[in-house]
Amino acid sequence: MPSRNKPGIVAGALLALSFSLTASAQQSEDPVRIAYIEPLSGAFANVGDAGLKHFRFAADMINQDGGVMGRKFEIVPMDNKQSASESTQLLQRAIDEGIPFVTQGNGSNVAGALIQAVDRNNRRNKDNRVLFLNYAAVDPALTNDQCSFYHFRFDASSDIKLEALTNYMADQKDIKKVFLINQDYSHGHVISELAKKMLKEKRSDIEIVGDVLHPIGQVRDFSPYVARIKQSGADSVISGNWGNDLSLLVRAADNAGLDVDFYTYYGGGLGTPAAVGERGEDSLHQITVWHADVNVDDNLSDYETWFTDFKERHPEIDWYYHQIYNQMYMLKAAIEEAGSTDAVPVAKALEGMTFESPTGTITLREKDHQMIQPMYVSVMDSDAKYDADNSGLGFRTLAKIPAEQATVPTTCDMQRP
């Protein structure tokens, strides 16, 4: 439908023109632009929109303190409708506009496509290279077989999360039967495979009583799946589901009176606590790099201010992506160290960088560009200081897993320029 995009193209052309006109005159005042390629419409628009607010907030905070080398960060939102092919087209648009950094995180399939496209561009188009900063796509393949010099992951990969989570679960003696339910794409497949392997190694007495993959973003009624979980006799469920796929699952479980513990990646994810409500109390667990009550538990008063300022600006959502804080400040540090926004020097500065994050010292592992950081296992609780999503419930830390124990080896064999 070319006619639908016409105003967009005209606006884009005008914007590009105005940039090119001012570029020569005000080189130093050009913003440092980051293309944000995420779903801003469709079933996962809520997730994409919340991420955008995070990035804009972090950029504003940095800009208020003088920006990066006297320049300001600017986030350029691009709607990929959660499609991998659309994303690579948007990447091309970002490259054409001379945007040096691209960030994305929802959907490892999308991230995988972006890594390939970024690699291809950087090989062929040496004058206009881009860096891909991944804040949430957690498929381990992205830092193993598919690893790239131009890709950095600030979230913990799903094998690292699962390593930390199964370490915790192994100590819970009342876990006997585990049911796996995941979305049918790379992320869900990885969790299903690794959970079976890791649980077997750590607690051979735990029985895997079910392993189900369901289509992503299409299931409206989870009650048949819940009936399966019930029949399997499971006491715990591991799920990597995110967005509505998780909300609907937990709601259906509660409607059916299913009494199991959910061990999830995204239980505190944007919108999920609001949709789940008090049904999640003491049963919805999550493994994350941070959650709101960590500020209280670990006395992080500065970061607590950051959290409350964000909440003031966006009362409808919470500061959730801790890794975006790390990503933006580490990018700032790397650009300043490199003295430019060119991909290769910035990538070299980021490689192996250590950073004092509110949760402790974190490191971008040089070998595969994977962030090594502390992790938290937490459970939904009405006594938490900070409610997630204004739901009346927050998360209570059950265990903090130090960075050294939240790591797995990599098979990455990186090609460096």
Nearer to another protein, 247 or 295 (CB): 247
- Distance from chain centroid for Cα 46: 14
Q: Which chain residues interact with another protein by CB under 8 A?
A: 41-46, 49-50, 184, 212-215, 217-221, 223-228, 230-231, 244, 247-248, 251, 255-258, 270-271, 274-275, 277, 316-317, 389-391
Minimum CB distance to another protein, residue 81 (Å) = 10
Nearer to another protein, 209 or 364 (CB): 209
Minimum CB distance to another protein, residue 391 (Å) = 6
Nearer to another protein, 215 or 402 (CB): 215
Task: Look at the alpha carbons of 94, 95, 97, 98 in this order and tell me if their dihedral is positive or negative.
Answer: positive
DSSP letter at 388 equals S
Query: What's the one-letter identity of residue 273?
Result: P
Helix (H) / strand (E) containing 228: helix 223-232
Nearer to another protein, 152 or 310 (CB): 310
Minimum CB distance to another protein, residue 170 (Å) = 28
Minimum CB distance to another protein, residue 214 (Å) = 7
Minimum CB distance to another protein, residue 207 (Å) = 18
CA-only gyration radius of the chain, Å: 21
Q: Do the Cβ atoms of 327 and 135 come closer than 8 Å?
A: yes
Q: Is 74 exposed, middle or buried (0-12, 13-18, 19+ CB in 10 A)?
A: middle
Nearer to another protein, 91 or 110 (CB): 110
Angle between helices 45-64 and 322-338 (to 10 degrees): 50
Nearer to another protein, 104 or 247 (CB): 247
Q: Do the Cβ atoms of 91 and 114 come closer than 8 Å?
A: yes
Minimum CB distance to another protein, residue 366 (Å) = 38
Q: Do the Cβ atoms of 281 and 382 come closer than 8 Å?
A: yes
